[in-house]
Amino acid sequence: MGDQKFPSPHEIETIPGTEGWERMYPYHYLFSTEDKERKTYEENMFWFNDGLHYPEPMYPFDIIWDEAWFLALSQFNTRIFMVPPAMGVDHRIINGNIYITPVPVSDPNEIQARIPLFMERAGYYFEHWDELHDNWEKKMREIINELKELKIKLLPEMEELAVVTKGLGTSSGYELLANYDKLIDLGIRCWQYHFEFLNLGYAAYVTFVDFCTRVFPDIPLQKVTQMVGGINVIIYQPDEELKKLAKLAVETGVADQILGGGTIDNVTRQLESSESGRTWLKAWDGAKDPWFYISTGTGWYHHDSSWNDDLNIPLNSIRLYIEKLKQGHGIDRPLAKIQEERERLVKEYRALLQTEEDRMTFDQLHSTSKLVFPYVENHLFFVEHWFHSIFWNKLREVSAIMKDHGFLNDIEDIWYLKRSEIKDALWDLVTGWATGSKAYGPLYWPKEIEWRKGVYQKFKEWTPPPAVGKPPETITEPFTIVLWGITNESMSAWAKLRDIGDPDKVTEITGFAGSPGVVEGIARVCRSVKEIDQLQDGEILVAPTTSPSWAPAFQKIKACVTDVGGIMCHAAIVCREYGVPAIVGTGQGTSIIKTGMYIKVDGSTGKVNIKR
């Protein structure tokens, strides 16, 4: 970062035509000069753009997860585990982009006072990790069940007679308000659980990373992660299910029907007519919950749909696997090889340590990181994929009611409302329904949403500065260390790219060395998982990001380049497993590289060369 200077957060100007954008987001997210103390605080902190979680500007509703982690992460540091030098992470928004800053404990006496508390509390979690983790999984399954069972019901012209005969005493209007509140509450609670282990997981991981880089200044982060990464973690399970279904299709002789059957509806109709077809369909249905709740994106945005939202996606992936099987290729993850390679890595790095003390420290930190790291990977499936996928659709049910009542022109318009505004609008709607008068919403919201869409478009075209405010000497908050480490490196690489200007002239772009190896070949740009069926064998996949739902693509490709993601992202992990080079977090790979271009990918140095 060196002598890099960043603008003051108060210097950033509003984009012309977006004046008034502030009302789209929680008021306390705004930088402000009105109060002197707050202004000074904001100027002296270091706020960096969380581009890793948010490659796109925030939708007013989607900011819910940002608010959720603002609270959850912070409370665990500050009030629960009493992390001695670190409090929470503060959040702001500029032109639709989230900026975050870690808040340190500045009083040395307070740090000292927090030490024994931290040792006791965090120590307890590390000591009882497995038991607490089992309990966590139980809580997660319960909350997901609660979410599934939450009913968003239409408002009837007249309530059922049962309301009277059972003496219920409440109306559907009240239920709608209450269930909306409950929906939001479940989301926020789920994110409380999200951070129960994450801070400590990161703390252990960061300590191991730090030790490794001190002993081996040249060690790639990739290798440290490989030494602690889970092998049989749950996040791979959706893909495993597809492989099982592909094998079953071949075994039961329905493979050709699936390959040539067209859409999932047609395939289902055909398969229902035979015994073996029905067997396969039963297995297919059995995999849907929970495994098809895997998101096609990161799960952070409402538009990250899941396989269950479009069953043709997993179906097409199964087709890829069936083809592989028919060609006589194995499709299983080379588990034994991965395991062996990981053990070799640990053994060889350990053998290079010079003292008995270092070997002891290495063993301590490695075994703890290995214990906690699977959580870092697994929680994603429970929260961001499974829970979120159901959550977004529940909210679409709310949206459908609002659309029915003329509040919205389209179900997908709801994302332009803050969650508090939805609550207000529902009150408007429900009281109108109750009273038999006309609600105000239809006059207000469609117009406001049109305007917000225009603002959002302008936010999208704007390039946020990587950071604002004053950089500190050190960062002590474990989560930020990981996040900033990744963000900072990619930001400076992206900044370099911006300086080049004309995207048609760029011949080299840089990202993280995600998975080693050098290959050359034809690029195929896939902007979403729906496009992976266009991939030809041996092409280089260029994508905005990938998620476990993209897994089948990795069977075909020679290398992978993504716009977003760090060393622990899905593409990097999977490519390392398949021994395919990957460069992740290039910032603009998909906007510079075009399908058909001949490119060279060096997964050890993180450079993509474009042959022009």
Partner 1 sequence: MEQREKYVLWFQECDLSSVPLVGGKCASLGELLKAQIPVPPGFAVTTETYNRFIEENGIDEEINRLLKPVRPEDTASGEMASRAIRLLIESKPISIELEDYIGEFYRLLSNRCQVPAAPVAVRSSATAEDLPGASFAGQQDTFLWVRGVDGILHHIRKCWSSLFTARAIAYRKKMGFEDTAVSISVGIQKMVNAFTAGVMFTLNPANGDRSTIVIDANWGFGESVVSGLCTPDNFQVNKVTLEIAKRTISAKECFFTTNFETQCVEQHECPPERACNQCIIDEEAIELARIGKLIEAHYGKPMDIEWAIDKDLPAGGRVLILQSRPETVWSGRKCEPVCPPKSSVMDHILAGLLAGKKVR
Binders of partner 1 in range 492-521 (CB under 8 A): 516-518
What is the token pair recorded at 73?
Answer: 């992460």
- Per-residue contact flags (x/-) with partner 1 for residues 550 to 589, judged by CB under 8 A: ----------------------------------------
Question: How far apart are alpha carbons 225 and 208 in whole angstroms?
Answer: 10
Which among 372, 479, 488 has a CA at the least distance from the CA of 86?
479
Question: Is residue 5 classed as helix, strand or coil in its secondary structure?
Answer: coil
Single-letter amino acid, residue 55: P
- Residue 375 as a binder of partner 1 (CB under 8 A): the answer is no
**Per-position x/- string for 111-140, each x denoting binding to partner 1 as judged by CB under 8 A, each - no binding:** x---x--xx--xx--x--------------
Q: Are 510 and 607 in contact (CB under 8 A)?
A: yes
Classify 592 as helix, strand or coil.
helix
Least distance CB 69 / partner 1 (angstroms):
20
Q: Which two tokens stand for residue 189?
A: 């609670």
Q: Which residue has tokens 């946020």? A: 464
Cβ proximity to partner 1, 32 vs 604, nearer residue: 604
Residue 369 or 399: the one with the smaller Cβ distance to partner 1 is 369
Distance CA 39, CA 29 (A): 13
Q: 170 vs 605, which CB is nearer to partner 1?
A: 605
Q: C-beta of 113: minimal distance to partner 1 in Å?
A: 13
Nearer to partner 1, 115 or 154 (CB): 115
Binding pattern for the stretch 7-46 against partner 1, x by CB under 8 A and - elsewhere: ---------------------------------------x
- Rounded Cα distance between 12 and 29, Å, is 15
Residue closer to partner 1, measured from CB, 152 or 209: 209
CA distance 354 to 103: 37
**Residue from 55, 230, 446, 485 in contact with partner 1 (CB under 8 A):** 485
Residues between 48 and 107 that touch partner 1 (CB under 8 A):
83-86
CA distance 362 to 211: 8
With CB under 8 A as the contact rule, the residue among 14, 364, 420, 534 that binds partner 1 is: 364
d(CA 92, CA 39): 13
**DSSP H or E segment with residue 468:** strand 467-469
Residue 2, interface with partner 1 (CB under 8 A)?
A: yes
Among 312, 476, 528, 591, binds partner 1 (CB under 8 A): 476
User: From residue 407 to residue 446, what is the string marking binding to partner 1 with x (rule CB under 8 A)?
Assistant: ----------------------------------------
Q: Applying CB under 8 A, which part among 30-38, 326-334, 392-400, 480-488 lies near partner 1?
A: 480-488
- What does the alpha-carbon distance between residue 504 and residue 153 come to, in Å, rounded to a whole number? 52
Question: Which x/- pattern, by CB under 8 A, does the window 145-174 give for partner 1?
Answer: ------------------------------
Comparing CB distances to partner 1, the nearer of 232 and 364 is 364
Q: How far is the CB of 212 from partner 1 (least distance, A)?
A: 9
Nearer to partner 1, 431 or 604 (CB): 604
Q: How far is CA 489 from CA 1, 216, 249, 258, 609, in A?
A: 9, 19, 45, 45, 19
Residue placing its CB nearer to partner 1 in the complex, 220 or 503: 220
- Residue in the block written with tokens 């890793």: 52
Distance in angstroms (rounded) separating the CA atoms of residues 183 and 180? 5
Nearer CB in complex with partner 1: 211/382? 211
Going by C-alpha positions, the residue among 245, 311, 320 that lies closest to residue 554 is 320
If one asks whether residue 361 binds partner 1 (CB under 8 A), the answer comes out as yes
The position carrying tokens 């999977």 is 574
Strands of 46-49's sheet in order across? 86-94, 97-104, 46-49, 467-469
Q: Hey, what are 503's tokens?
A: 């995207």
Q: Please, which residue, 207 or 276, has the CB nearer to partner 1?
A: 207
Q: Are strands 598-602 and 518-525 parallel, antiparallel or unpaired?
A: antiparallel
Place of tokens 């960062």: 475
52 or 183: CB nearest partner 1: 52
**Closest approach of partner 1 to the CB of residue 335, in Å:** 19
Residue 552 CA to residue 243 CA, distance in Å, equals 9
Cβ at position 97, least distance to partner 1 in Å = 20
Residue 203 binds partner 1, judged by CB under 8 A: yes
Q: Compute the distance between CA of residue 262 and CA of residue 242 in angstroms, rounded to an integer.
A: 17
Binding site for partner 1 (CB under 8 A): 1-2, 46, 83-86, 111, 115, 118-119, 122-123, 126, 203-204, 206-207, 210-211, 214-220, 223, 344-345, 348-349, 352, 354-355, 357-358, 360-361, 364-365, 368, 471-476, 478, 481, 484-485, 488, 516-518, 604-605
